[in-house]
Amino acid sequence: MLTLNELFKSIKKDIKNSKKIEELNEIRIKYLGKKGIFTSYIRNLKNFSFEEKKKYSMIINQIKQEIISKINHKNQELTAFILEKRIKKEHIDISLPGRRTENGFLHPITYTINYIKNFFYKLGFQSINSPEIEDEYHNFDALNIPKNHPARDSQDTFWLDDNRLLRTQTSSMQIRIMKEEKPPIRLIFPGKVYRNDYDTTHTPMFHQIEGLIVDKNINFSNLKWIIYNFLYDFFGKDVSIKFRPSYFPFTVPSAEVDIINNHGKSLEILGCGMVHPNVLKNVNIDSGIYSACAFGIGIERITMLRYGISDLRSFFENDIRFLKQFKYN
């Protein structure tokens, strides 16, 4: 068996000659591992006297610490060498064009909402945001929607518990405002709404803008004037518009508004009507003194018509090429 000095020289030589980190790990295991050479030396100490054990234990521990230090130092050298070699191999060609992160653009839905806001601001409307989580009273009861109405079913509405739900319409904000504010009222309510409906033309989440006017002597002619002027402003003077009778629990009379495309086909774009007297009663507004009209605009529908977007899914794919088309709109 080699003496400790001879062994130490042999280890230093092995460490110095190692060219890879793997080789260095093998040296560590060979000499310092559980079955390594130094472990054998320590086991043999049991045959020595107490003074010899004390003497050689100190020598062995000192040599062991020196070996660990040299292995760590060599490991640092090899790591630096490998990194430098890799850097030289993967050098940067400064003549190559840089990789740029493109800036995002406003979504066409955002453009449409801002456009509508700006139009109604000119008519004296204010815009108010509203909660997306509603209770049954504001979303249904106060809007004159009967208990057996299909919209209350879980197959049509996202219920959170027995009372709370994701709002199905922005009309719920009408109730909150009319309870707190006194007429005259002239407001719009933009926001997201949710319905349990998903197919090629519907998504579970979409956007609406609700409009509300409460004042003395408000009638259906006032409502039609607003709708006509908005649609002419949004689509252009050449658009053909048609009002047709409809039914909504919270308005009477009610109408749906269509625009006629180039092929003579009617496309529904919004609903409107005079606020039902029961709704005014629910918020303590005297329908003998005040009247009110309301309208609800589907943002996705009119955005698709205005920009010629044929696939509803384009709104949700987050494709910057799609968004870039609307940069200057």
Domain total in the chain: 2
- DSSP structure string for 239-274: -EEEEEEEEETTEEEEEEEEEE-TTS-EEEEEEEEE
CATH label of the domain that carries residue 128: 3.30.930.10
Q: Measure the N-to-C terminal CA separation of the chain; round to a whole number of Å.
A: 88
Task: Give the model's pLDDT for residue 51.
Answer: 75
Could you tell me if residue 13 is inside a domain? yes
Separation CA 106–CA 232 (nearest Å): 24
Separation CA 46–CA 212 (nearest Å): 97
Whether 202 and 257 map to the same domain: the answer is yes
Whether 21 and 136 map to the same domain: the answer is no
Task: Give the model's pLDDT for residue 84.
Answer: 83
Could you tell me if residue 101 is inside a domain? no
pLDDT digits (tens, 9 = 90+) for 45-58: 777 777 777 777 77
Task: Give the model's pLDDT for residue 224.
Answer: 95
Domain span including residue 45? 4-89
pLDDT digits (tens, 9 = 90+) for 269-279: 899 999 999 99
Separation CA 101–CA 97 (nearest Å): 13
Task: Give the model's pLDDT for residue 123.
Answer: 94
Separation CA 143–CA 173 (nearest Å): 10
Q: Using CB atoms within 10 Å of the CB of residue 327, give its burial: 0 to 12 exposed, 13 to 18 middle, 19+ buried.
A: exposed
Could you tell me if residue 94 is inside a domain? no
Whether 144 and 65 map to the same domain: the answer is no
What global pTM score does this model have?
0.65
Whether 75 and 192 map to the same domain: the answer is no
Could you tell me if residue 199 is inside a domain? yes
Biggest CA-to-CA distance, the chain:
116
Whether 237 and 284 map to the same domain: the answer is yes
Q: Which regions of the chain are under pLDDT 50?
A: 1
Could you tell me if residue 98 is inside a domain? no
Whether 239 and 290 map to the same domain: the answer is yes
| Dihedral angle sign, alpha carbons of residues 280, 285, 286, 288 | negative
CA 108 vs CA 82, 111, 114: distances in Å: 51, 5, 10
Whether 54 and 126 map to the same domain: the answer is no
- Note whether 59 and 4 are within 8 A (CB): yes
Could you tell me if residue 100 is inside a domain? no
Among 55, 89, 123, the domain-final residue is 89
